[in-house]
Amino acid sequence: MAEIAIELTGIDKRFGDVHANRNVSLTIYQGSIHGIIGENGAGKSTLMSILYGYYQADSGHIQVRQQPVHIRNSHDAIRLGIGMVHQHFMLVDNFSVLENIVLGAEGGFTLKSGLDAARIHLKQLNQDYGLEVDPDAIVGQLGVGLQQRVEILKALYRGAEVLILDEPTAVLTPQEADHLFRILRALRDQGKTVVIITHKLREVIDVTDRVTVMRAGEVVGNVMTADVDKEDLADLMVGRKVNLQVEKSTRTPGEVLLDVRHVSLKDKRGVELLKDINLQVRAGEIVGIAGVSGNGQSELLEVLAGMLPASEGEMLFKGEDLFRLKGHRPKPSILREKGVAHIPEDRSREGLVKTFSVFENSILGYHHDRDIQKGWLYNRTALIEKAKRFIQQFDIRPTNPLLRAGQLSGGNQQKVVLAREIDSNPDVLLVGQPTRGVDIGAIELIHKQLVKLRDEGKAILLVSVELDEILALSDRILVMAGGRITGEVPAHEATATGLGCLMGGVQS
């Protein structure tokens, strides 16, 4: 048996009413890749934050290399050889890779001596683990995958023996994710310990040696990866049988509801973000747009939803050009009136106001509707009734419409948005990342709803960076790269690898 790198015993942590970790015990062995999985809000991130010194546990002990330790802040953690790669990178964009890596650990009185020493060290690290990062590149100009490697280098430079990665593949292409996994394996083979927090089951199966499953703040399983499959883990995470397949009947799509012609978009500097986009969505059809994030899908959705003005092109809805209804820019409110609803990619920034109650969020964008007004004031009873109806129809929990949206889990927040947007019975639904940061139980419900809407004859345009989701839901798949549509594949012929090539290949 390998040596124990980290041992957590009886960790307990509360935030007010929320019991984030209940008596969690966990052993991480040196030289292994350890996965921690669980639904959103299961307490994975809290646990790792305790290990990294962001929070203090209410009770429980931490041992690093069999020595009991107190980790009061991240400095303590770094000193103990624990490094963390955050989901949102902590990098200075206009500094070079080298400068970012020495940041906070400059050494020496002059910057140059520190940088020179770092350069040599960095070269060694680059070689050892196949990181392939140019030390003089400006971080802001690097792709996301490379920025992540800079974060890894930062941790290693500080002497990390244990590397914690929080949702590392959320922003990567399948190819980039594979490269990351190669790096992680190299790290393991050199005796480092890697902990990855994730909710993607496939990755867990691919890359980890051991898995800890968490649910509602507790550890519900500790298994060797080789002994389990995806379904086992999903069941453990959710605590019941989960159907990962989306059941979908074949259906012949009807008339063209949304016809996008020659749409292009230039930013202020004249860079073309969208180039001559043409697509059609028919009634009773889900058209999926696959692509690595940052290749124009987000912009396309924003343009169609009236959040960004298109530079050129037409958006025909039942034959009427919505771009030219009032001037050149369709307002989101007019689009909604016409029957184009939008479930935005960034739920917490666009779709919701987190500090508002659930019932207030249930009218966002529909706050002019007559049935909720009484004179010049809102009819509060009607508002709350509406929210209660959403809560019941979509199984939103907790069921209190007076709670602030921010108190709900990601999945339940998304259900509020979904309920609101489809309540007005739109003909076209623009859907962005419907299950980003959403737990498995809710994913199932959201997917079923989307398929149901399709069966009712709605036209759905789905943008997602989750290939599995695109494959499971779409009737037709379009691939975007570099602001263009680079390929179209009927869903039944599509495979993850095939799409992955289209997504990455054309881009470079």
Question: What is the C-alpha to C-alpha distance for residues 305 and 4, in angstroms, rounded to an integer?
Answer: 53
**x/- site string to another protein, residues 335 to 374, per CB under 8 A?**
-x-----x-x-x--xxxxxxxx---x--xxx-xx----x-
Q: Is the peptide bond before 398 cis (omega within 30 degrees of 0)?
A: yes
Neighbours of 277 (CB within 10 A): 25
Binding to another protein by residue 331, rule CB under 8 A? yes
Alpha carbon 449 to its chain's center: 20
**x/- site string to another protein, residues 305 to 324, per CB under 8 A?**
xxx-----------------
Give the one residue of 136, 240, 377, 493 binding another protein; rule: CB under 8 A.
377
Give the one residue of 376, 492, 493, 508 binding another protein; rule: CB under 8 A.
376
Binding to another protein by residue 14, rule CB under 8 A? yes
Question: What is the C-alpha to C-alpha distance for residues 237 and 215, in angstroms, rounded to an integer?
Answer: 6
Query: On the CB side of 244, how many CA atoms lie within 13 Å of its CA?
Result: 14
CA–CA distances in Å: residue 251 to residues 248, 258, 281, 317, 412 = 9, 18, 14, 22, 30
Binding to another protein by residue 16, rule CB under 8 A? yes
Q: How many residues bind another protein (CB under 8 A)?
A: 36
Give the nearer residue to another protein in terms of CB position, either 109 or 376.
376
Place of tokens 């060290």: 121
Neighbours of 153 (CB within 10 A): 25
Evaluate whether 68 touches 131 at the Cβ level (below 8 Å): no
**From the CB of 350, what's the least distance to another protein, in Å?**
4
Evaluate whether 273 touches 291 at the Cβ level (below 8 Å): no
**From the CB of 403, what's the least distance to another protein, in Å?**
13
Neighbours of 159 (CB within 10 A): 13
**x/- site string to another protein, residues 198 to 237, per CB under 8 A?**
----------------------------------------
**From the CB of 197, what's the least distance to another protein, in Å?**
20
- Residue of 438, 255, 318 lying closest to 449 (CA atoms): 438
**From the CB of 364, what's the least distance to another protein, in Å?**
5
* Alpha-carbon torsion (209, 215, 221, 226), positive or negative: negative
Question: What is the C-alpha to C-alpha distance for residues 215 and 231, in angstroms, rounded to an integer?
Answer: 16
* Alpha-carbon torsion (364, 370, 371, 376), positive or negative: positive
**From the CB of 15, what's the least distance to another protein, in Å?**
6
**From the CB of 42, what's the least distance to another protein, in Å?**
18
Give the nearer residue to another protein in terms of CB position, either 171 or 417.
417
Question: What is the C-alpha to C-alpha distance for residues 171 and 433, in angstroms, rounded to an integer?
Answer: 12
Interacting span for another protein (CB under 8 A) from 183-191, 278-286, 327-335, 471-479: 327-335
39-58: which residues touch another protein (CB under 8 A)?
54-55
Interacting span for another protein (CB under 8 A) from 194-202, 331-339, 450-458, 469-477: 331-339
E strand or H helix that includes residue 487: strand 484-490
Give the one residue of 125, 178, 378, 482 binding another protein; rule: CB under 8 A.
378
**From the CB of 308, what's the least distance to another protein, in Å?**
10
Give the nearer residue to another protein in terms of CB position, either 365 or 411.
365
Which parts of this chain interact with another protein (CB under 8 A)? 14-17, 54-55, 305-307, 331-334, 336, 342, 344, 346, 349-356, 360, 363-365, 367-368, 373, 376-378, 380
